[in-house]
Chain A
Amino acid sequence: GAGVSQSPSNKVTEKGKDVELRCDPISGHTALYWYRQSLGQGLEFLIYFQGNSAPDKSGLPSDRFSAERTGGSVSTLTIQRTQQEDSAVYLCASSLAGGPDYEQYFGPGTRLTVT
């Protein structure tokens, strides 16, 4: 079946512009996660959605970052007023449910470059 998909695969933007990154999770998966992979920082958790519960936003690095998940499926990560330090690969993952018993399946990522 289809895995987690993300779009765009690559995004180049100018400093100060806003960007939106999209994630389509595996159908039926109630949990969705955003991570960021950057040189020197490794993989960092950003935000987690589980069903209709309030999202866990504890990993968002600043208030320029926000995310929503519409209808319990597709999610959009928005970065406002992008900075060069936002350059990274943004990964989305989904799992059947939240918690350690459920494997997280990762998408291919969106490579964001802020010039």
Chain B
Amino acid sequence: GDSVTQMEGPVTLSEEAFLTINCTYTATGYPSLFWYVQYPGEGLQLLLKATKADDKGSNKGFEATYRKETTSFHLEKGSVQVSDSAVYFCARHQAGTALIFGKGTTLSVSS
């Protein structure tokens, strides 16, 4: 069935390092794709999204490009900060209603 697969964590980086969190999906057609973030002690919130192939979503220095050729939506940031420590979830829409999430990747950034 349709699914979302993201790299397992935890990912541990030093401040100012480059971040990539891989995400691939299976789907019929071209669903909208999302990255959600869950900061410690807070609720899940939308980080960025892309609604069609080749779109690039961006927010707070994070970027992800919708690649239909590789069915991927990898999350990147050029220079991470301690405040970016959180759990990141890749997601896609299912039949225009609910979201299908990956299992989440924990990022820990140290100063």
Contact = CB atoms under 8 A, between A and B. Distances in A.
A85 interface: no
Interface stretch (B16-24, B38-46, B68-76, B78-86): B38-46
B35 interface: no
A100 B51 CA distance: 8
Contacts of B103: 41-43
A103 B46 contact: yes
A35 to B, nearest CB: 8
A14 interface: no
Nearest to B100: A45
B51 to A, nearest CB: 6
Contacts of B96: 98-100
B44 to A, nearest CB: 4
A42 B98 contact: no
Chain A interface size band reads 20 to 34
B31 A100 contact: yes
A45 B99 contact: yes
Contacts of B42: 108
A101 B51 contact: yes
A59 B101 contact: no
B104 interface: yes
Contacts of B89: 42-43
Interface string A37-51: 000011111001010
A42 B104 contact: yes
6 contacts: A35-B101, A43-B103, A48-B97, A104-B99, A105-B45, A109-B43
Interface of A: 3-4, 33, 35, 41-45, 48, 50, 56, 59, 91, 93, 98-101, 103-109
Interface of B: 31-32, 42-46, 49, 51, 89, 91, 93-94, 96-104
